[in-house]
């Protein structure tokens, strides 16, 4: 299996991304293995590598031991509160990410109409939220990616 890495010329990386991805490459670890080790999902583990999710002190401890990185250095780089939203240029130029954008563009109002009827006036939270990706293989041998997003429903306050 190939290991996802980053191109350091990518202009919007978090300062700790290069170190983390290098260590991951050196250890030839997949996000699945790292996620299992730190007890988080694969997507949030990858998001953490991109500086898009928060690392708890335990995450830092576990990552430093798994990746042979100094805990103190890692703590300095990862502590604090993520400044989210900076890695993906919108509209996304990357074809895989663009497909997700296209889904929002094509089905946005359909999702809204269905959710409004099911839940009332409100939104699905992107904060009280989790997501994962699964792989399925059908009988013809085709692979299918299944993304699940689970967000708390927040009704608009009446005021």
Residue whose token pair is 């692979």: 143
Catalytic residue among 99, 117, 130, 139: 99
Q: What are phi and psi of 5, to 5 degrees?
A: -125, -170
Is residue 99 annotated as part of the catalytic site, yes or no?
A: yes
Least distance from C-beta 32 to a copy of itself, angstroms? 7
Among residues 20, 23, 44, 69, the one that binds a copy of itself under rule CB under 8 A: 44
Q: Is 32 a catalytic residue?
A: no
b/e per residue, 4-38, with b = 16+ CB within 10 A? eebeeeeeebbebbebbbebbeeeebebeebbebb
90-109 positions binding a copy of itself, by CB under 8 A: 90-109
Rounded to a whole number of angstroms, the minimum distance from the CB of residue 90 to a copy of itself is 6
Residue 150 is a catalytic residue: no
Question: Among 70, 139, 141, 146, which residue sits at the site for a copy of itself (rule: CB under 8 A)?
Answer: 146
Query: Do 60 and 20 meet the contact criterion of CB atoms below 8 Å apart?
Result: no
- 46 or 63: whose CB is closer to a copy of itself? 46
By CB under 8 A, name the one of 70, 136, 139, 141 that touches a copy of itself.
136
Burial class (CB in 10 A: 0-12, 13-18, 19+), 127: exposed
The minimum distance between CB 132 and a copy of itself, in angstroms, equals 8
Restricting to residues 107-126, name those near a copy of itself by CB under 8 A.
Answer: 107-126
Distance, in Å, from the CA atom of 80 to the CA atom of 130, rounded to the nearest integer, reads 21
**Active site residue ranges:** 99, 102, 125
């Amino acid at each position: 299996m190939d290991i996802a890495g980053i191109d350091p010329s990518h202009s919007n990386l978090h300062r700790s991304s290069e170190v983390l991805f290098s260590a991951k490459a050196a250890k030839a670890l997949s996000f699945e293995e790292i996620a299992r080790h730190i007890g988080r999902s694969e997507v949030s583990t990858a998001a953490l590598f991109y500086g898009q999710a928060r690392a708890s002190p335990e995450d830092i401890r576990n990552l430093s031991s798994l990746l042979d990185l100094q805990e103190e250095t890692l703590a300095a780089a990862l502590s604090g509160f993520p400044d989210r939203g900076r890695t993906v240029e919108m509209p996304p130029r990357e074809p895989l990410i663009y497909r997700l954008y296209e889904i929002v563009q094509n089905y946005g109002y359909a999702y809204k109409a269905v959710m409004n009827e099911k839940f009332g006036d409100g939104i699905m939270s992107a904060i009280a939220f989790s997501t994962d990706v699964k792989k399925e293989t059908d009988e013809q041998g085709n692979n299918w990616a299944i993304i699940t997003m689970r967000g708390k429903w927040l009704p608009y306050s009446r005021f």
